[in-house]
Amino acid sequence: MAYPVLLIEIAPEFSIVGTPPTAWTGSPYSYAFASLGGTGAVTWALDGGTTLPAGWTLSSAGTLATAGNVTGAGTFEFSILATDTAFRSVGAKVRITKAAPLPP
């Protein structure tokens, strides 16, 4: 007698790793977010209706960058969403500090 087989696939863990560094006023900024696990390529986007400061962008490849030099000082927060090719998503809140460089 043959018994049916139930196959359960357990998806690999999927998480966002790394911490963006301080953004120094007067210098350009670029940081590539990374994911751990997941299936296939990951697409990145802003999440939760958050926005970036003027002149900042987040590419679908996960690179956060400024169009020119960082201006102003302070801390800004936003949320990102990473989605893999299996349509699983993971989100994270990100905080970046914009600071004046230390004097020489």
Q: Kindly list the structural domains of the chain, giving each domain's residue range(s) and its CATH number in brackets, ordered by start.
A: 14-99 (2.60.40.10)
Rounded-to-integer distance, Cα 20 and Cα 41, Å: 21
Task: Say if residue 11's pLDDT is above 60.
Answer: no
Rounded-to-integer distance, Cα 52 and Cα 95, Å: 11
**Which segments of 48-103 are extended strands (E)?**
56-58, 63-69, 74-83, 89-99
Task: Say if residue 7's pLDDT is above 60.
Answer: no
Rounded-to-integer distance, Cα 65 and Cα 57, Å: 6
Residues 6 or more apart whose CB falls under 8 angstroms from that of 55 comprise 66, 67, 68, 71
What is the value of pTM for the model shown? 0.82
Q: How confident is the model at residue 102 (pLDDT cuts 50, 70, 90)?
A: confident
